[in-house]
Amino acid sequence: MWHFALRRGTVLLLTLLLVSIVAFLIPYIGEGDPALLVLRARIADPNVDQTTLEAMRHHLGLDRPLAVQYFAWLGDALRGDFGLSFIRRAPVADMLGGALLVSITLALSALLIALLVSAPLGTLAAMRPGGRADTAATLLTQTLIAVPEYWMAPMGILIFALWLGWLPSAGWDGPSSLVLPALVLALRPLAYFTRIIRAAMIDVLDAPYITAARSRGLGLRQTVLRHGLRNGAMPVITLFALWLAGLLGGSVVVEVIFAIPGMGRLIYEAVINKDIPVLQAGFVAIVALAVVINTLVDLAYLAINPALRHSHGA
């Protein structure tokens, strides 16, 4: 167990180091000269004379060796200082924090909706595999997986905002503006959750302790509620965490459609505007979050399920 945790921890640190190097190199991979990029972002004139360029390079510390620059950048980044946005001139860390909060709120709401629907649906399907409820649930999940969110979003806006006028069509202003985007985002996780809950519950309901509970005279509903849900929860928690990591930034299309100031839109705008500091910080934040969540899920799996500990050569 500890051996495994140590190994995963080392891999995690190496990964984060690699990610930071890639993020640091972003301005060099693209257009080439970062000083020119900064100048272009600040003054509209595309023709910059050589003296200005040299002065800018010195001002930004870009005339130092690359390794020195990297460690300076990494030191600042570790203290939470990712510099100023080229466009908004605000500290990138503050922009990122706000956007992250918005995205987490949106992602959690969507995943909770998905869970609330899929838990009863998947359980119902698992209680009689091949039955009518199972067929309906399977059909529903297969269909939902194929629905593009950029189709549901405009349709939702058309019906609930423009025609019925129940909800705002876009923006981030109070709980009512959360409803449509969260519902749209919930569709795909809902399908995957239902499938995994169904599979997990079929496995669980097949287990000997369920037969034992049933033969002691416990009703089917009681058995499912007391034993089934608890034992089938682990794969669902894993999938929930992975979706959470995936939706931070992965919800970019929905955030752009609904004009939600989250991570996805922040990065999208940074790409459009070539706002390098925001791109760097966004890249580090999203990848780091994804990798950390993934590692934590693996460790939690191991901590909760003792049967797995030996198979990992601990």
Question: Which of the ranges 34-42, 77-85, 225-233, 241-249 carries the binding residues for other proteins, by CB under 8 A?
Answer: 241-249
Per CB under 8 A, 261 contacts other proteins:
no
- Min separation Cβ 94 and other proteins, Å: 21
Minimum separation from the CB atom of position 168 to other proteins (A): 15
Alpha carbon 43 to chain centroid distance?
Answer: 35
CB 198 within 8 A of CB 221: no
The nearest distance, CB 273 to other proteins, in angstroms, is: 10
Could you say whether residue 126 binds other proteins (CB under 8 A)?
A: no
Q: Considering the rule CB under 8 A, would residue 210 count as an interface residue with other proteins?
A: no
Q: Which of residues 36-95 bind other proteins (CB under 8 A)?
A: none
Closer by beta carbon to other proteins, 26 or else 84: 26
Query: CA 240, CA 108: separation in Å to the nearest integer?
Result: 9
Provide the 8-state DSSP code for 161: I
**Angle (nearest 5°) at CA 123 between 121 and 187:** 30
With CB under 8 A as the contact rule, the residue among 155, 237, 304, 314 that binds other proteins is 155
Q: How many residues bind other proteins (CB under 8 A)?
A: 56
Q: Does 267 interact with other proteins (rule: CB under 8 A)?
A: yes
Instruction: Report the alpha-carbon distance of residue 310 to residue 314 in Å, rounded.
Output: 6
Least separation in angstroms between residue 112's CB and other proteins is: 18
Can residue 164 be called a binding residue for other proteins (CB under 8 A)?
no
Q: Which is nearer to other proteins, 143 or 305 (CB)?
A: 143
* 274 scored as a contact of other proteins (CB under 8 A): yes
Q: How far is the C-alpha of 228 from the C-alpha of 203, rounded, in Å?
A: 9
**Angular region, 181: left φ>0, alpha ψ -120 to 50, beta rest:** alpha
Position 11, amino acid:
V
Could you write out the DSSP letters of every residue in 11-45? HHHHHHHHHHHHHHHHHHHTTS-HHHHHHHHH-S-
Binding residue (CB under 8 A) for other proteins from 157, 185, 186, 204: 157
CA–CA gap between residue 59 and residue 71 (Å, rounded) = 17
Single-letter amino acid code for the residue at 32: G
Ranges assigned E (strand) in the chain? none
Asked if residue 200 lies in contact with residue 232, where contact means CB atoms within 8 angstroms, the answer is yes
Residue among 4, 70, 192, 301 that touches other proteins (CB under 8 A): 192
Task: Please report whether residue 162 would count as binding other proteins according to CB under 8 A.
Answer: yes
Q: Which residues bind other proteins (CB under 8 A)?
A: 11, 15, 26, 29-30, 138, 142-143, 145-151, 154-155, 157-158, 162, 192-193, 195-196, 199, 235, 238-239, 242-243, 245-250, 252-253, 256-257, 264, 267-268, 270-272, 274, 279, 283, 286-287, 290-291, 293-294, 298
